[in-house]
Structure 1
């Protein structure tokens, strides 16, 4: 098991099929990684950036039209 500063990583409760991302956080940082490549690269966002992303996603800003 690979240990890192983020500790527990989680996937969405509705994820499935192997095409998932995992999310973890520590104070002031949220990290996202590919669930199929757990030792590979990850994206890191401030909690402010992550909150803005979630808000936009919830209102449909990234939906395909």
Structure 2
């Protein structure tokens, strides 16, 4: 089943509008963490990955 994370749900100064989707939860978490580290300056930690997993939705991102 398709899953997604929508960056618009996380307040940021840059008002990021990226949504990332994947069929596999681990793939989605890896992509979202890479985005958060590269664009938002986050750190890849187990706690941060747990927070990302909590933000996963089933389906496709809304337009």
TM-score, structure 2 length as denominator? Answer: 0.27
The answer to which structure has the higher strand fraction is 1
Rg (Cα) greater in structure: 1
Question: Looking at both structures, which has the greater relative contact order when contacts are Cα pairs under 8 Å and sequence separation is at least 6?
Answer: 2
Higher helix proportion (structure 1 or 2): 2
TM-score normalised by length of structure 1: 0.27
